[in-house]
Amino acid sequence: MRKFMLTSAAVIAALFATEAAAQDGTVNGAAGGAITGAIVGGPIGAAVGGIAGAAIGTAIDPPPQEVVTYVRQQPAPQPVVLERQVVVGEAIPETVVLTPVPQHRDYAYAVVNEQRVIVDPKSYKVVQIID
């Protein structure tokens, strides 16, 4: 019975953490997972949720608002069409030409599948999709 409860708490925590990440477009990592796990399963859920949150990802934080504003205001670079959906936290192909964001070397952007995306130029991971 206890094994079943731990497994259930892990699954529920992972689902809530994934759902929260999808809604916000960011990943909160271990802290977000621990909070969600604590709500769902108490102290054991907090531990399981922390592990689940860390596994989902800890390094994807939203870019500063000035980066988002800059990317929205710039003329659109040459658009790229991919045969798959662009997802926050997943890398786009390195063949996509990125436009750097001046004064914020940790960010670049591109137009992919008719969406402006802010990308980590080192890993090509999508940090944010701008509507």
For 61-93, the DSSP string reads -PPPHHHHHHHHHSPP---B--SS---TTSBPP
CB count, 10 Å around CB of 23? Answer: 8
What is the rounded CA–CA span in Å between residue 18 and residue 28?
10
What is the rounded CA–CA span in Å between residue 73 and residue 130?
12
What is the rounded CA–CA span in Å between residue 69 and residue 108?
13
CB neighbour list of residue 81: distance below 8 Å, 6 or more residues apart: 112, 113
CB count, 10 Å around CB of 5? Answer: 12
Q: How many residues in the chain?
A: 131
What is the rounded CA–CA span in Å between residue 116 and residue 110?
6
In a structure prediction context, what are the per-residue pLDDT tens digits for the chain, which is 131 residues long? 444 444 444 444 444 444 444 434 444 455 555 555 556 566 665 555 556 555 555 457 899 999 999 999 999 999 999 999 999 999 999 999 999 999 999 999 999 999 999 999 999 999 999 97
What is the rounded CA–CA span in Å between residue 82 and residue 62?
23
Which DSSP symbol is given to 96? S
Model pTM?
Answer: 0.57
